[in-house]
Amino acid sequence: MKLNRTPLKVTAAFIFGAIIAGSVATATTNSVVSSVVVCADNRTQALSLAKSGVCATNKTAIEIGSNSINAKSISALVTPSVVSISVKTTAGSGTGSGSIYKTSATSSYIITNNHVIESAVTSGTIKVEFADGSEIPATIVGRDRMYDVAVLLVKKGNLPVIALGDSSKVSVGDEVLAIGSPLGLANTVTQGIISALNRPVTAGTTDSTSYVNAIQTDAAINPGNSGGALVDSQGRIIGVNSAIATLTSGGTSGSIGLGFSIPINEAKRVIDEIIATGKSTRPVLGVVFDDVSADTQAKILQLTPGEGAQKAGIVVGSIITSIDGVKISNRDAAIVKIRSYAPGAVVTVVLTLPDGSSKSYKVTLGSAPAV
C-alpha cells in the first residue's frame, strides 16, 4: 500500500488489526487567554456551563478554551462514543474501531473505514463492542472504497454520539487525541499534535484504492485503530483514523509517528449520503491522467466528453500545477485534491499548456457514483 509517491521512503498502510495469517494491515486558531469548565451529559453529550466548576454525577466535567488539551477529561467524554469492531469471515478475523455518529430510540449509526468491514460484505459477521463491554451484531448500511468510509447500523438506541468538529479550522501544532482499539485493546487513548494538513495519501490495492487529503498526526496509531476518532481539545471528532506510514525497508510495522486521518468534513458528506441513500457520490474533474509520467506530474492524457474540464476549455497534454492554490506535484496529488471537494464545487485549476505557457481555468466538478 503506497503513500503518494513523494521523496519520503515510506509506505502508507491501512491499520485494520488483522488476525489471520498472511494478511497485511492495510486554518487559523484563535488566541486563548483563559479556560472554562463545562459539563457534558454522559448520554447526549450536550454541554452546559458548570456551576462553580462542579458537574452533576451524570455529567463529565471538561475544560475548554485552554491552551493545552485536557486529556483526562476529553478521554472520559469521548471514550463512550468510540467502539471496537470485530469482523469474522471464513478466511479469518480482524478488529477495527468506529464512532457512534447518530442515534434514535431504537437504532444507531456507526462510522468506520471501509477496509475494516470490506471482507464481510458478502459473507461473515460484524460485531460492535461498546465501552461497557457489551456486544451487538451490526449490518452494513453502505460503504465507499475510494474514500475508505463505511457506515454500520446496530439495533441499539439512545447511545452517546460523538461531537462533530470542523476539520477546515484545525492548524498544524493543535493538540489531538486518537481513540480506538489498537491490536484489539479497546478504549485506548494516545496524545499528539497535528503534524501536517492536506497530506496526499493513497492506500489499498490496485482494485480498491482510497485517496485521502489527510490530516497527519504523531499521536500513536496502530493496527486496530482504523475507523477510530481523532479528536480536538474539546472532544470533537476532526478525523477518522485510516492509515499509518511504515518504512519501506526492514519491514517495520506499527506507529512511527506518521498517522493519517480522513478529515471529518470530507467524510461527513459521504457518510450523510450513505445514511440517506445507501450510496455515495464522488466529484469528477473529467480527465484521464497519463500513467507514464504519473510519479512526477499530473499530465492530462484525454478529456471526458461533457464533463467540467472539457467545458472549461482545458487542453489535452496540459499539466496541472495547482488546484485552488495548492501545489500539485503528481497524478495522485491531483486525484486526492479533487476528491476533497463535493460534486458541483467550482475549483481554480492552473495548468502548464503544451506550448509551455501557464493558464488558469474555472472548472465545475461533475458527479459520479462511488465504487
Which residue among 226, 233, 318, 340 is the active-site one?
226
Nearest alpha-carbon partner for 74 in 38, 103, 110: 38
Please give the grid coordinates belonging to residue 278: 445507501
Query: Are the beta carbons of 56 and 98 closer than 8 angstroms?
Result: no
- Helix segments in 174-230, DSSP class H: none
Which amino acid, 178?
A
Among the listed residues 144, 148, 218, 232, the single catalytic one is: 148
Tell which residue, 147, 96, 76, has the closest CA to residue 342: 147
Q: Which of 81, 108, 115, 181 is catalytic?
A: 115
Contacts of 89 (CB under 8 A, 6+ apart): 119, 120, 123, 124, 125
Closest CA to 310 of 336, 339, 287, 334: 287
Residue 314 in grid coordinates: 482545458
- Reply yes or no on whether 115 is catalytic: yes
Q: Is 144 a catalytic residue?
A: no
DSSP state of 343: T
Give the 3-state secondary structure of residue 321: strand
Cα separation, 201 vs 310, in Å, equals 27
Is residue 280 among the annotated active site residues? Answer: no
Q: Which residues are catalytic?
A: 115, 148, 226
